[in-house]
């Protein structure tokens, strides 16, 4: 039998324990620790899923499906990284940013530790919406309204006009995140800062460059409007083999001209210049794992031997352990040009060919192998190729 005094003692200690736990739970701050609060479905719609917006806004939906935004959750590398213990819960807040997309509601952090979130099952979790990653509703649904900027008459859903919300500011919430999360984990997306410091600030912004305008009806059978492409074209490196990917061209290339014949012992200098002419930020930008390789190769066409080869890299290098530290950074500033050279002195008669290749890489092969990303995950694309053949007499 349990005495009353023992019950009292039990309740007092339970109460004290509860209070001490409470004291250790710290509230979430705004810097990506929080998801966008649960959104309700605007009246007139059946859900806030892209697939349902797409029933009416068919063309925009098809464009968005090709965007990397649509793959922000399903991306193989993201999934591989999310499984690691070193990835805190907050990774998902830019990749599936709405609470509706998240299996758990995060109520706070024990002792302010991002590896100890206080989780609660989310009764309104929508797994289909989760698959959609950065979906229509990320940018267009708040407080039961569709956020728009135009005010067209009689849409079948309530529209709130908010030009400040639906400006480049919304892009910056995810594309400009600079923070040391833990010693080994830093966020280094500085695309917004790079744009603000560059020549396009006040002239063109994320939306004018990444969402081309086009005149078309927003749904079939309605008048044409000024509309925007929704494929958010960027690097053009596809997310899976076989998936179409829309890319933009940021670089301009200028190659030297070469003669068609030379003599043994001639010095044959050659230069190619790369200029970041069309991007409103550095190149590469964002993800620090991205880089370009510039490869210059002289080959003898008589015996298919490489006789001279130069390779250059544009990108950052990092050391992640024990502390994340940027080691080098030679990314191209907006407007900046860089010259790459190869000098060749043929020692024998014959036919020689110079090949210039510029490739853009999502990450190096070592990282891909470490994450076991497999054959399905494209690591690079070719962005420039040029060649020239000479006779040496």
User: According to the binding rule CB under 6 A, does residue 332 interact with ligand HEC?
Assistant: no
Q: Check residue 64 for interaction with ligand HEC (CB under 6 A).
A: yes
Instruction: Name the residue whose CB lies closest to ligand HEC.
Output: 286
Which residue in the set 35, 187, 274, 342 belongs to the binding site for ligand HEC (CB under 6 A)?
A: 187
Q: How far is the CB of 93 from ligand HEC (least distance, A)?
A: 5
| Number of Cβ within a 10 Å radius of residue 57 | 20
Residue 13: CB minimum distance to ligand HEC, A: 39
Task: Report the alpha-carbon distance of residue 163 to residue 147 in Å, rounded.
Answer: 9
From residue 334, give the alpha-carbon distance in Å to each of 281, 331, 341: 6, 10, 22
Cα distance between residue 365 and residue 271, in whole Å:
28
Give the span between the Cα atoms of 218 and 194, in whole angstroms: 33
Of residues 74 and 353, the one with the C-beta less far from ligand HEC: 74
Q: Name which position in 95, 109, 316, 342 contacts ligand HEC (CB under 6 A).
A: 95
CB of 24 to ligand HEC, least distance (A): 24
Residue 271's beta-bridge partner residues? 341
Distance CA 71, CA 240 (A): 10
Task: List binders of ligand HEC among 234-293 (CB under 6 A).
Answer: 234-235, 247-251, 278-281, 283-287, 289-290
Sites for ligand HEC among residues 21-50 (CB under 6 A): 32, 45, 48, 50
Binding of residue 97 to ligand HEC (CB under 6 A):
yes
Residue number, 75 or 99, with CB nearest to ligand HEC: 75
Q: If binding means CB under 6 A, how many residues of this protein chain bind ligand HEC?
A: 96
Shortest distance (Å) from residue 245 CB to ligand HEC: 8
Counted residue by residue, the chain has a size of 393
State the minimum distance, in angstroms, from the CB of residue 387 to ligand HEC.
21
Q: Which residue in the set 93, 101, 102, 130 belongs to the binding site for ligand HEC (CB under 6 A)?
A: 93
**DSSP string spanning 310-357?**
EEEEEEEEEE-SSS-EEEEE-PBPTT-EEEEEEEE---S-EEEEEEEE
**How many C-beta atoms surround the C-beta of residue 35 within 10 A?**
23
Among 166, 293, 297, 379, binds ligand HEC (CB under 6 A): 166
Q: Which is nearer to ligand HEC, 185 or 293 (CB)?
A: 185
Peptide bond into 284 cis (omega under 30): yes
- The SS3 assignment for 23 reads helix
Tell me if 295 contacts ligand HEC by CB under 6 A.
no
Q: For every residue of 219-255, which 3-state class applies, written as one string? A: CCCCCEEEEECCCCCECCCCCCCCCCCCECCCEEEEE
- Count CA atoms within 13 Å of residue 186 on its CB side: 20
SS3 assignment for 37-79: CCCCCCCCCCCCCHHHHHHHCHHHHHHHHCCHHHHCCCCHHHH
Site for ligand HEC in 357-386 (CB under 6 A): 360, 362-363
Distance of closest approach, residue 284 Cβ to ligand HEC, in angstroms: 3
How far is 42 from 137, CA to CA, in rounded Å?
A: 11
81 binds ligand HEC, rule: CB under 6 A: yes
Segment near ligand HEC (CB under 6 A); pick from 16-24, 60-68, 113-121, 320-328: 60-68
Mask 204-223, x = binds ligand HEC (CB under 6 A)?
xxxx-xx-------xx--x-
Q: Which residues of 31-175 form beta strands (DSSP E)? A: 104-110, 117-121, 141-142, 145-148, 159-161
Of 33, 99, 168, 299, the one binding ligand HEC by CB under 6 A? 168
Interaction with ligand HEC in 126-155: which residues (CB under 6 A)? Answer: 134, 136-141, 146, 148-152, 155
Helix (H) / strand (E) containing 189: strand 185-190
Least distance CB 6 / ligand HEC (angstroms): 48
Of 106, 145, 232, 390, the residue at the interface with ligand HEC (CB under 6 A) is: 232
Of the candidates 39, 100, 102, 227, which one interacts with ligand HEC according to CB under 6 A?
227
């Amino acid at each position: 039998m349990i005495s009353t005094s023992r019950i009292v003692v039990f309740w007092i200690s339970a109460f004290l324990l509860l209070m001490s736990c409470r004291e250790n739970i710290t509230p979430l701050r705004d810097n990506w620790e929080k998801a966008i609060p649960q959104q309700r479905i605007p009246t007139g719609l059946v859900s806030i899923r892209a697939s349902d917006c797409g029933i009416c806004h068919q063309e925009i939906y098809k464009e968005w499906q090709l965007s990397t935004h649509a793959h922000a959750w399903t991306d193989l590398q993201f999934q591989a990284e999310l499984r690691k213990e070193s990835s805190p819960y907050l990774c998902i807040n830019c990749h599936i940013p709405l609470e509706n997309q998240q299996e758990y509601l995060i109520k706070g952090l024990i002792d302010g530790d991002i590896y100890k979130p206080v989780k609660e099952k989310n009764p309104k979790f929508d797994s289909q919406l989760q698959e959609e990653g950065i979906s229509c509703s990320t940018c267009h649904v708040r407080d039961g309204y569709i956020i728009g900027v135009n005010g067209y008459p009689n849409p079948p859903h309530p529209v709130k006009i908010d030009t400040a919300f639906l400006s480049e500011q919304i892009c910056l919430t995810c594309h400009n995140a600079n923070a040391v999360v833990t010693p080994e984990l830093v966020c280094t997306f500085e695309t917004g800062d790079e744009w603000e410091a560059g020549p396009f600030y006040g002239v063109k912004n994320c939306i004018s460059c990444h969402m081309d305008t086009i005149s078309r009806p927003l749904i079939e059978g309605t008048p044409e409007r000024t509309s925007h492409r929704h494929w958010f074209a960027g690097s053009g490196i596809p997310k899976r083999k076989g998936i179409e990917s829309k890319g933009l061209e940021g670089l301009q290339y200028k190659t030297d001209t070469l003669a068609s014949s030379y003599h043994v012992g001639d010095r044959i200098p050659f230069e190619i210049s790369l200029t970041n002419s069309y991007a409103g930020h550095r190149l590469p930008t964002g993800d620090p794992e991205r880089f370009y390789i510039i490869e210059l190769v002289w080959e003898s066409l008589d015996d298919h031997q490489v006789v001279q080869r130069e390779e250059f890299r544009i990108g950052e290098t990092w050391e992640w352990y024990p502390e994340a530290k940027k080691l080098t950074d030679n990314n191209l500033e907006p407007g900046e040009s860089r010259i790459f050279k190869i000098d060749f002195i043929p020692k024998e008669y014959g036919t020689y060919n110079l090949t210039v290749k510029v490739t853009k890489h999502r990450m190096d092969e070592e990282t891909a192998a470490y994450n076991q990303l497999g054959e399905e995950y494209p690591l690079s694309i070719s962005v420039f190729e040029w060649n020239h053949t000479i006779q040496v007499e």
